[in-house]
């Protein structure tokens, strides 16, 4: 398939003043520009701030509106709104009512909220603190700094003292000239910058808590020697039931044996096919009658070592491991056994790969199971148990995704399509964490995810979602094909006919049949959602085709 990027320059005018407008905020100071642009690109600037003078004070109402947008993204509830109750006598703003109901803001004793009053800095600290505490976070998890270095610390009101200490301790508030100015009003750009810092902190905190939870669960299984990079994938293999009893309570840093690898492969085969395959015969090898070894041999996943031996207790080299994974893919039904798109010479030790292992090694690199350290493949090195589990899981997820998309195999009358492999590769990252600015391979944000998937197959385009829309052929929802990028906005029922590409706040990868995969948010990570109903249907903006014929 011929690769080409079609760049179309879009210039869409607003149809009327009442229609959603592109962000046209102005008077932004250089120190705040990146944060304001980032918050806008994430869809965190409410309508009331999209055309604002950023040097002017933010109001209490505007702060509520921004807080709700961030809160819903962190909580993974993008379309949640308030109930029908009006909680204040002077406003019926849905965002204010919702923020109140979630415990993010409070009102005044006379039943008012005063939405148009400017926001003091200490009220900003309190609102941000409340939002973070509501979104799972516990301030007791951090070591609090003293406020003694600030000359006006004594001016902080009692209700804002703890929130102020917290915001200083986590770097949200840094103070200029050793002053906090708690009773001063907060400009829009100051509030956005500080809130962006809080958002990044919460992203990191949520991911850290998730990883810590996984670590606790894995250690509770009795495993030891697990590296940080392997925890998530070891846990996923455990949840899928593909870690066999022979590895119960093992030291994951030890080399895996050939027999142990057979046990993993047979369980993976049964999981992928829905079967419960057991060996039909025995006596294939003089040195092993292990049922899993016999089953793996009958299936064609492993072979012997010659002279009628299997050497079940010998450790598995990386190139032997690559060969077993390639055999597994073939048995499941993946049609390709090699990829000439991969050149082993790009690795310093690529020439050390044995002839019989070169095709499997290329294939494992092509599907993204084997990533290497960018320099070495270490083909003759032993394969650690944790390495075998993590890398095999990537191969398994890729293969199962491909097979699910091709239940009858590949059409012999059609040329193999890179799109098919690209989609299977994308699906293999389901469950990976969302990190703002994440470019892969271990974490992603929305635009970083789609870019990483495409770059793996030799395609390159812009980094941000708004710019990515300009890098391909534009398509409507009813024209979408698998592999297209799908774009969303924070507006309901907004599309290119009544807005500009600056309205775009999110991007995903269309899989077909109404499904798309995307790096959603810190709570959900990389997930598959439907495009045909719910939030994403009403917030769909347009599609973009990167690969054309």
DSSP 8-state code for residue 315 = B
CA atoms within 13 A on the CB side of 421: 24
Is residue 506 part of the annotated active site? The answer reads yes
From the candidates 64, 250, 395, 446, give the one annotated as an active-site residue. Answer: 446
Q: With helix as H, strand as E and coil as C, how does 162-209 read?
A: HHHHHHHHCCCCCCECCECCCCCECEHHHHHHHHHHHHHHHHHHHHHH
What token pair was written down for 461? 């385009």
Torsion, Cα 465 471 473 479, to 10 degrees, reads -20
Is residue 539 part of the annotated active site? The answer reads no
Is residue 518 part of the annotated active site? The answer reads yes
Nearest to 526 by CA among 544, 539, 511, 512: 511
What token pair was written down for 398? 């890729």
Give the contacts of 474 (CB within 8 A, at least 6 positions apart). 8, 10, 496, 542, 543, 544, 545
Instruction: Compute how many other C-beta atoms are within 10 angstroms of the C-beta atom of residue 336.
Output: 16
Q: Are strands 485-489 and 504-512 parallel, antiparallel or unpaired?
A: antiparallel
* Integer Cα distance of 378 and 334 in angstroms: 26
* Integer Cα distance of 120 and 214 in angstroms: 40
CA distances 216 to 186, 228, 387, 543, Å, are: 42, 12, 19, 41
* Integer Cα distance of 425 and 363 in angstroms: 12
Nearest to 543 by CA among 444, 468, 445, 492: 468
From the candidates 456, 474, 506, 539, give the one annotated as an active-site residue. Answer: 506
* Integer Cα distance of 386 and 233 in angstroms: 9
- Can you tell me whether residue 149 is helix, strand or coil? coil
Instruction: Compute how many other C-beta atoms are within 10 angstroms of the C-beta atom of residue 77.
Output: 14
Residues noted as catalytic: 446, 506, 518
């Amino acid at each position: 398939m011929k690769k080409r990027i079609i760049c179309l320059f879009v210039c869409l005018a607003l149809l009327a003043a009442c229609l959603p407008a592109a962000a046209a905020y102005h008077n932004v100071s250089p120190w705040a520009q990146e944060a304001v642009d980032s918050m806008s690109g994430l869809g965190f600037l409410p309508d009331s701030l999209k055309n604002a003078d950023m040097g002017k004070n933010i109001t209490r109402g505007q702060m509520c509106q921004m807080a709700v947008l961030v809160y819903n993204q962190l909580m993974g509830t993008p379309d949640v709104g308030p109930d029908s109750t009006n909680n204040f006598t002077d406003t019926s703003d849905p965002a204010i009512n919702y923020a109140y109901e979630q415990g993010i803001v409070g009102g005044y004793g006379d039943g008012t909220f005063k939405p148009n009053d400017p926001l003091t800095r200490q009220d900003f600290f309190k609102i941000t603190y409340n939002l973070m505490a509501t979104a799972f976070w516990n301030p007791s998890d951090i070591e609090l700094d003293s406020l003694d270095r600030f000359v006006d610390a004594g001016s902080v009101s009692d209700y804002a003292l703890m929130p102020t200490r917290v915001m200083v301790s986590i770097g949200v508030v840094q103070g200029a000239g050793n002053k906090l100015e708690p009773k001063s009003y907060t400009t829009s750009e100051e509030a956005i910058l500080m809130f962006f810092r809080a958002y990044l902190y919460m992203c990191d905190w949520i991911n850290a808590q998730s990883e810590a939870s996984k670590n606790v669960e894995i250690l509770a299984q009795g495993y030891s020697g697990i590296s940080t990079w392997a925890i998530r994938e070891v846990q996923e293999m455990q949840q899928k039931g593909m870690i066999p009893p022979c590895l119960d309570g093992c030291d994951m840093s030890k080399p895996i044996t050939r027999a142990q690898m057979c046990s993993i492969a047979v369980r993976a085969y049964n999981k992928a096919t829905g079967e419960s395959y057991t060996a039909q015969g025995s006596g294939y090898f003089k040195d092993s009658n292990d049922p899993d070894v016999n089953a793996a041999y009958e299936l064609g996943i492993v072979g012997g070592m010659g002279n009628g031996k299997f050497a079940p207790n010998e450790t598995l080299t990386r190139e032997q491991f690559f060969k077993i994974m390639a055999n597994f893919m073939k048995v499941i039904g993946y049609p390709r056994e090699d990829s000439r798109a991969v050149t082993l010479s790009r690795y310093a030790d690529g020439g050390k790969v044995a002839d019989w292992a070169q095709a499997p090694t290329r294939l494992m690199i092509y599907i993204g199971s084997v990533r290497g350290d960018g320099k070495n493949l270490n083909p003759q090195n032993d394969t650690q148990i944790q390495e075998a589990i993590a890398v095999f899981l990537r191969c398994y997820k890729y293969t199962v995704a491909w097979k699910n998309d091709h239940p009858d195999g590949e059409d012999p009358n059609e040329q193999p399509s890179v799109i098919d492999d690209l989609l299977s590769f994308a699906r293999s990252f389901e469950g990976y964490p969302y990190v703002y600015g994440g470019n892969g391979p271990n974490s992603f944000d929305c635009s970083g995810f789609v870019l990483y998937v495409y770059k793996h197959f030799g395609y390159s385009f812009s980094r941000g979602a708004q710019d990515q829309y300009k890098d391909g052929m534009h398509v409507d929802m009813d024209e979408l094909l698998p592999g297209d990028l799908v774009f969303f906005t924070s507006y309901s029922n907004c599309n290119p006919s009544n807005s500009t590409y600056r309205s775009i706040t999110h991007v995903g990868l269309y899989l077909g049949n109404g499904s798309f995969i995307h790096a959603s948010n810190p709570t959900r990570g990389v997930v598959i959602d439907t495009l045909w109903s719910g939030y994403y249907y009403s917030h769909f903006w347009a599609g973009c085709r990167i690969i054309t014929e």
